[in-house]
Amino acid sequence: MNFWQKLQKPFFCLAPMADVTDAAFRRVIAKYGKPDVLWTEFVSCDGLCSVGREKILPDLWYGNEERPIVAQIFGSNPDNFYKTALLIQELGFDGIDINMGCPERNIEKQGGGAALIKDPERAKKIIQETKRGAGTLPVSVKTRLGYTKVSIDEWIMPLLEEEPAVLTIHARTRKEMSKVPAHWTDVGAIVKRIHSEYSHTADRPLIMGNGDVIDGDDARKKVDEYGVDGVMIGRAIFGNPWLFRGLCAYDASSIPRRNSPTALHENAFSSPSIEQKLSVLLEHTLLFEQLFSGIKNFDIMKKHYKAYVAGFDGAKELRVQLMACKTGKEVADIIHKAYPSL
């Protein structure tokens, strides 16, 4: 029995996001509000099967506090998916997820991501080869409703023939990108179709929905209204590492505050103070620098600053200062000057 089968339903997960859900950010999330499952950023199978593998491997760093942790991969060469699955198994991950929905042009030019929606047979072969290399690890798929239109019979149902452990559906087509509201009614229609066609077996595919989920309450509503087994949340995590706390079974410890260990009230995560957000911003920054100095560009952290530092008097001025920083020490100096109690 794989970990997906052991999870209590509904389950709530953090979406994999390039240059966002790296090991530093996932450790912060695991500490303050752990989702039921975490994903790595997506990683190229071709890259992992090339001489440049060592430069890519930091994208697959993880800690035990993140478990269950799933490695997400992309590409178009079934042979490389097999080889990559062997590597992921060796690295000790809990599962493998195949990205078949990324709309970025450079990914599609390689035949990966959403380009696979136009080639179901290759997509099915990729799942087969990934499973062959995965051993006992569960293999899941994240995709979209279709390429230019919703394609349940042409795309979703053929994928399910390969029995992925979970199918995560981003509720838009490739053509729509993120320019229109997510079509959760279509996700609900897929769930009903699956419940009908798999009513004779206990091995019904697990379906997770994704798209425009704003918070925990909204995630629960999506489960109730559309019948999904789980919900994946992405952009709502920015600036709010407490998002999953109270939503999942995980019970995070109190948020540490310098010089004031008892200052936090029980429900601080539901409405964190400025000081709490800045404290986590600094912790996140220093952890990123500790893990990735000389490996990843420090500027990656700055997309988080835009989210952490917003919605209060003086936020713009503080954010401008932080965006000019090049080291964790500079960030620490600015925050401690603005908020000496931290």
* Location of structure tokens 């509503």: 221
Within-domain flag for 40: yes
Paired tokens of 170: 């981003």
**Residues 113 and 50 placed together within one structural domain of the fold:** yes
Annotated catalytic residue 45: no
DSSP string for residues in 145-197: S-SSS--IIIIIHHHHTT--SEEEEESS-TTTTTSS---HHHHHHHHHHHHHH
| Poorest-pLDDT segment among 77-81, 197-201, 248-252 | 248-252
Query: Rounded to 5 degrees, what are φ and ψ at 163?
Result: 55, 55
252 neighbors 32 (Cβ within 8 angstroms): yes
**Residues 282 and 199 placed together within one structural domain of the fold:** no
Determine the average pLDDT of the residues in 320-333.
Answer: 97
Q: Across all residues in the chain, what is the average pLDDT?
A: 92
Query: Domains in the chain: how many in total?
Result: 2
Whether the predicted pLDDT of 24 surpasses 60: yes
70 neighbors 98 (Cβ within 8 angstroms): no
Rounded to whole angstroms, the Cα distance separating 144 from 186 reads 11
pLDDT in tens, 32-57: 999 999 999 999 999 999 999 999 99
**Residues 171 and 300 placed together within one structural domain of the fold:** no
Please tell me the predicted confidence (pLDDT) of residue 96.
98
**CATH code (residue 138):** 3.20.20.70
**pTM of the entire predicted model:** 0.91
Within-domain flag for 36: yes
Q: Which of 237, 258, 282 is the C-terminal boundary of a domain?
A: 237
CB atoms within 10 A of CB 251: 9
Please tell me the predicted confidence (pLDDT) of residue 249.
58
* Annotated active-site residue in 13, 45, 49, 102: 102
Per the structure, the complete domain to which residue 168 belongs is given by 3-237
**Residues 142 and 192 placed together within one structural domain of the fold:** yes
CA 25 vs CA 14, 171, 274, 315: distances in Å: 11, 25, 19, 22
pLDDT in tens, 174-230: 999 999 999 999 999 999 999 998 877 778 889 999 999 999 999 999 999 999 999
201 vs 94: which has the higher pLDDT:
94
Q: 11 - beta bridge partners?
A: 230
